[in-house]
Structure 1
C-alpha cells in the first residue's frame, strides 16, 4: 500500500471525503476570525488582508467545484455557514470602505426631519447632528448624499430600529443577501438546476467583506433582482400576463431606487421570445418600472432640493475605474468626446446588445 493510499484510508480522510462542504466551511471559520484579530486594514495595513482573502477564496473555489460536480443534500449547511461567516464579520470595523457611515448619517438626518438631498453634511444647518463616531468618519463631507430614494427609505427605517448603529446597518444588509439566496434557491429549482448551487452566491468571501464588513448598499437590491428573474422564470412563455410583467417591472424599479445601475438589466428581463420564437415587448413592465421609480423620487422632491444629489458630479469623476472604463475614457479623450459619456452611455448599450 502506498503512502497516499494509507493516508486516504484513515478515518479522518474518509470523514472529510464524506463531508467536504462541512470541512471547507470549518476551515474558513478561523480565516474569518483573523479579520477580527487583525483589526483595521487601512491605512497602510492592507498586506495581511490578501492572504486572508485568497485563502478564503481558495476554500470557496473548492466548494464551488463540489456543488457543480455533484448533487448534495447540504442546503441547510450552506445557509448555516453563510450566516456564520456574516456574523463573524459584524464586529469588524468597516475600514475597507467608509460608505456605511454615510448610510447611518442619512438615516440620522431624516430622523431629524431633514431631506437628505437638501444640505451637504458639513452645512451649518446640520451642525447639531455631527459627532466623531459617524460624521467625522464619512467621506465627501462637503457633498450631499448620492444614494437614491429607495436606499434612503432603508437608511431611515434602519436608523429608527438601530439608531446610529453600524452593526444594525450590517444586519440589514446581511438579511438582504440571505433573502436573495433563498430566492435564488427557488429560481434554480424553477430553471431545473440543483438548488445547492446557491452556494456560489452565498459563500464568496467578496460578498462577505462587501456586506458583513463594509455593509455596501448593493446588498439591498440583490433580492429584488433575483425576485424579478424568479418571476420571469415562472411567467407564462406563450402569452403575456400583465400581472407578471407589472410585478417584474415593480421589482426592477425598486432595485433602481436602491442604486441606479440595475436599470441595465431591463433588456434582459423585458425582451423575451414566446413559445413560437416571436419577440414580445410587454408594455406593462417598463410602465411599472417607470412608475415605481417616479413614486420613489416623488417622496423626496421638494422646492430647492435636487433629488439626484451628488450623482451628477460623481458621474464625471475619474478615479478607481475598471480597465474597460479607463479604455473607454482614453478613447473618448483621444477623439475629443466628453470623457464621461462613453461609460455612462456605452455600458447600458452594451447590455442591450448582449441581451438581444
Structure 2
C-alpha cells in the first residue's frame, strides 16, 4: 500500500475512533449492551488496523492520537462504572479531617448530622456501597483528597481532577513502555496495542480505575531493574502494592530472581514503600475495617468468573445452594499453590523471563477469582506486551461480553455470553502455549 493511501486510511480510522469514544463516553449507557459491544468492537478493530498500517510509526502522532481519545472523555461522567461516588465521598471525609475507614457512609451520616451537606447526601445516594467500610488503600485516599480539595463540592470538578491524575499516569506508562521496548529490542508497534486500546482508555480515563497507576509502578520497578537500581525498583514495587494490594502476589518471583532475592537494597526499598503506604491504617485501628471489607468483597460478590462459575454450578447441583463461602478460600489456596509452583518451576534468569512469570501469575489468579472486573486485566495486559503471548490482548476484547450483565436490573449474567468470552480466552491460552510452539517446531 502506498504511503499517502496508508496515511489517509490511518487518519480516517482515527476520526472514526474519536467518534466511537465520544459515543461510548457520553451517549451509550452500559445497559445497552449491543450498542456498547458494536462500538467497542469497531474501536478494537480500529486499533488493530492502525497497528498493522503503522510500519514506521510517527510516535508523536500516535501519542497525540491517544491523548485526544483520552481528553475527549475529560468532562464526561463515568458511564460504565459507579465507583466514583465512593472515591469522592472518601476524599470529602479526609478533607473534613475524618477517618474514611472508621464508619460506613450510612453510619457516618447518622452520627455526623452537623457535618453533612447536600453534596455528601447526593454522593451517598449515588453510591454502590453505602453499607461497607472503605476498601481503598491510603495511597488512593491521597488522590481522593486532592479531588475533594480541588473539586470544592462539585462532582464534575472532582471527577476531572481524578481523571487528570490518571491521564498523567498513562503518559508515564507510554514513555516507560517506549523506553523498555527499546531496551529489550522489541518492536515498538506493540505500544499502539496499549496506547489506543479501547478497554484501557475506557476503564482508566473513562471510568476512573487505578490499574493504570499500578501498571505505571510495576513498569517503573522493571525499569529500575533494567538500570541496576534495585533499591529504587523495590520502592516502586512497594508503591504498587500500596496502590492496589494485588502486586503482593509477585513476592515469590522476587525471591527466586537472583538480582532481587539476594539484594538487601531491594527489600529495604520495598519495605519502606509498603510501610509508607499502609502505616496510616494503624491510626484508630483502621486496618480492622479495611481488611474486614476486603474479606467481605472476597467472600460475597461474584462477577464475570470462569472456573469459579463452573464449580458454583456443581455446588448448586450437589448441595442446592451457592457455595461461594466455601469456594472462595479454596480457590485462593489453589491460586497461591499455583503461584508458588510456577515460580519454583520457571526460576527466571533474566528480566524478560521475570515479566513472563508475572503475566502467568496474573493469569492464574484471575481465572480462579469469583470477581473479574474488566479493569483488573490492565496491569497484566501491559506486562504481556513484553512476551509473545496474545491471551491478555484477546481478553481485553473478549471481556466486553461481561457488560451484558448490566443490561438487566438484577445484573444477571447470561451463561452463553460468558462462555463466549472464556472460549476466546482459553482458545488464546491454548494457542500461546501449544499451537504456536507446534507451528514453530514444524516450520524449522
TM-score, with structure 2 as normaliser: 0.66
- Residue 220 (structure 2) aligned to one of 221, 227, 245: 227
Aligned residues: 328
- Residue 106 (structure 2) aligned to one of 122, 144, 152: 122
- Give the drift of 1:147: 0.8
Cα deviation digits, residues 136-182 of structure 1 (max 9, x gap): 21111011111112211222233223344112212211221221111
For the pair 1:347 / 2:328, whether they are aligned, the reply is: no
Tell me, in whole angstroms, the C-alpha distance in 2 between the residues paired with 1:17 and 1:145.
Answer: 50
- Mapping 1:60-79, distance limit 5 Å: 60-66=47-53, 70=55, 72-79=56-63
Cα deviation digits, residues 74-99 of structure 1 (max 9, x gap): 11111101111111122332131111
- Residue 45 (structure 1) aligned to one of 22, 28, 32: 32
- Residues 282 and 22 of structure 1, relative CA distance in 2, 3 Å threshold: farther
5+ long unaligned stretches in structure 2: 347-444
- Mapping 1:103-252, distance limit 5 Å: 103-123=87-107, 124-127=110-113, 128-129=116-117, 131=120, 133-163=122-152, 164=155, 165-235=158-228, 244-252=229-237
Cα deviation digits, residues 56-77 of structure 1 (max 9, x gap): 011112233345xx4x141111
- Residue 43 (structure 2) aligned to one of 47, 50, 56: 56
- Give the drift of 1:21: 4.1
5+ long unaligned stretches in structure 1: 1-7, 236-243
Tell me, in whole angstroms, the C-alpha distance in 1 between the residues paired with 2:193 and 2:100.
Answer: 36
Cα deviation digits, residues 205-247 of structure 1 (max 9, x gap): 0011101221112222221111111112222xxxxxxxx2221
For the pair 1:288 / 2:232, whether they are aligned, the reply is: no
- Residue 314 (structure 1) aligned to one of 278, 291, 297: 297
Which deviates more from structure 2 when the two are superposed, residues 179-188 or residues 124-133?
Answer: 124-133
Tell me, in whole angstroms, the C-alpha distance in 2 between the residues paired with 1:281 and 1:328.
Answer: 40
CA contact (8 A) 2:94 2:145 kept: yes
- Residues 354 and 66 of structure 1, relative CA distance in 2, 3 Å threshold: farther
Tell me, in whole angstroms, the C-alpha distance in 1 between the residues paired with 2:126 and 2:22.
Answer: 25
- Give the drift of 1:133: 4.2
- Residues 22 and 33 of structure 1, relative CA distance in 2, 3 Å threshold: same
- Residues 273 and 304 of structure 1, relative CA distance in 2, 3 Å threshold: closer
- Residues 36 and 287 of structure 1, relative CA distance in 2, 3 Å threshold: closer
- Residue 73 (structure 2) aligned to one of 79, 89, 100: 89
For the pair 1:255 / 2:243, whether they are aligned, the reply is: no
Q: C-alpha root-mean-square deviation of aligned residues, in Å?
A: 2.9
Tell me, in whole angstroms, the C-alpha distance in 1 between the residues paired with 2:75 and 2:147.
Answer: 18
Tell me, in whole angstroms, the C-alpha distance in 2 between the residues paired with 1:102 and 1:196.
Answer: 37
- Residues 36 and 152 of structure 1, relative CA distance in 2, 3 Å threshold: closer
- SS across alignment from 1:320: coil
CA contact (8 A) 2:308 2:327 kept: no
CA contact (8 A) 1:188 1:195 kept: yes
Report the counterpart of residue 303 of structure 1 in structure 2: 284
- Give the drift of 1:321: 3.9
- SS across alignment from 1:95: coil
CA contact (8 A) 1:315 1:340 kept: yes
Which deviates more from structure 2 when the two are superposed, residues 193-202 or residues 211-220?
Answer: 193-202
- SS across alignment from 2:131: coil
TM-score, with structure 1 as normaliser: 0.81
